[in-house]
Structure 1
Amino acid sequence: MIKRLIVVLLIALLVMGGALFWYARTPLPLKSLPAEFTLMPGSSLPAVAEQLRQAGVIEDAWKFKLLARLSGDAARIKAGHYTLSRPTTPYELLRKLILGEVSLREIVFIEGWTFQQMRVALNIHPAIRHDTAKMTEAQILTTLNIPEARAEGLFFPAKYYIDPGNSDISILRRAYATMQMHLAKEWAARQPGLPYSNAYQALTMASIIEKETGLASERPLIAAAFINRLRKGMRLQTDPSVIYGMGSAFDGNLHKRDLLADTPYNTYTRAGLPPSPIAMPGLDSIHAALHPALSQALYFVSKGDGSHYFSDNLEEHNRAVMRYQKNGH
């Protein structure tokens, strides 16, 4: 009797082992590819199996739990967002979860964006936790321990990879640290004799260069023109700073009355640099602000194709304006 029971148990174990082997090696019944799912931090094995079942990744939670327990690695399953881009077996799924092969997503901050545009991008991103959504700009700066009064221009434009569920605060912290790193490096290697008191002023100039540049190769020349004006005590007279100072009052067209209306950012009515950056400058604009071209240019006018004509004196500049703007060619 005992022998017969042992035989039955052995047969049952063999059958179960075979069934489990078959299960482990049979592709999951995914409804579509790619299949995405998220495992929450701190989840136990039963919770993991249930999250997989609810996401439509597995059909039977108990089979997956048994496979995970027999593997001896159940405790090593890692939380995160995962993507299955091809047919996958339960065994392959388990290995993926143990190795923590999470699906990284990304957010991109574009050169020339304002801080408000950055906030919109963060707030609409579906994979980010929106901890700053109801914060004021000042509250965000305080949270990040940033000493400046304005957030504009302090974050580096780039592609940032994120794990779903990351806080927007952590992303802003990374972007700020990246900007500080690049700015410090460029400031340390700057040309001598530049008319900046500190790196923040250089960052402000870089933001103006970013907004004025249509042709990347012209950044050092545009930087030279503005720096030459600063050195001579001339007003910068840059339209992008005026537009920034107008805020929501800007209707898409810059009028003469706008150039005469004084704001802290109106570089037609006020001398020197504006009180803060006006946008998020990229590395090339930061480099140009600290390594301008060797040029005597004081003026430039758009040629209508993204490039500019640069002039050393007002007479030449006026002729260029007549040629490229008032005559329409």
Structure 2
Amino acid sequence: MDHFLQTQAWADVQASLGRRVHQQSGPGWRFLAVEEKNPAGKVLYAPYGPVAATPSAFDAALAALVDVARSCGAVFVRIEPVSAGLEPSAADAELRRRGLQPAPVNQQPELSRVIDLEGDFKDVLAGMKPVNRNLYRNIHKKGVTFRSSQDPDDIRILLDFLHMTARRNGFKPQSDEYLTQVAASLMPAGAATLFIAELEGSPIAAALVYDSADTRTYAHAALDDSHRKLSAGIPLLVTLIAEAKDRGLKHVDLWGVAPADQPDHKWAGFTAFKKSFGGREVSYPGTWDLPVKKLRYRAYQAARKLRNMAVAGVRSARARTGR
């Protein structure tokens, strides 16, 4: 499965945001890595990368990443080797053997939900909950229609709905400036599409997707609170899955779900939503760090631990005093 965050289109997005991007490839491997800043200093981050066909190719990619990190002064390399040629059951041990250590937090989701599109679309529909299929087949009777757009100006529709959702659920979405720039870079190139549900010509829900060579990624979605009872987000998602099938893509990645044993996880609500469309759960190795400037990295880790202990102490004190 070709992840969008390791494509040329995503490199173009990062460059348009003013970030320095490094791309290299060799026999059986390739990577896209971005220079970022964190409290340790400069970091070289390969989102869902590097991509490698075999363990030896992965080693070559890792060596190239370290060379780039040294040349640009990065304190460490941060990777998410979802396609590294490593056996999933042995990935943790193999990464540690190579000197990597788990990052303090996962930057990209460690679990995802993937719908495979090979075969007849009726089989894809059969994997969904009956209510999803029925809404997809019958919502037109309520005056709801669907369209797609690759006009960057239409991103405003999604942004307005995201603001509504943020106010309702108390979360902070990515900035308007960021998503506007993403749309301006990807939509004219055909690498991103906005799907819009409309009621009598007025938008009531929207979803932004990214396309790689074989996979459509469901990236951002939100709807108009005043039309929640129509559940337009469900047939909207089925519509973009059907369109991906028509386009010849092999997978739809619903991107990011909560573990089954964590019912109180902050993603639990939309995890249940995503599972209702069928598919399979995909587990990734997570985010890992490879120190390049080892003393600096150890100091960064120690400072993080002290800060976390201080925060935990404040919370404990507040709990005891009832503040």
State the TM-score, normalizing by the size of structure 1. Answer: 0.19
Tell me which of the two structures has the higher relative contact order, counting C-alpha pairs closer than 8 angstroms and 6 or more residues apart. 2
Higher share in helix: 1
State the TM-score, normalizing by the size of structure 2. Answer: 0.19
Larger Rg: 1
Higher share in strand: 2
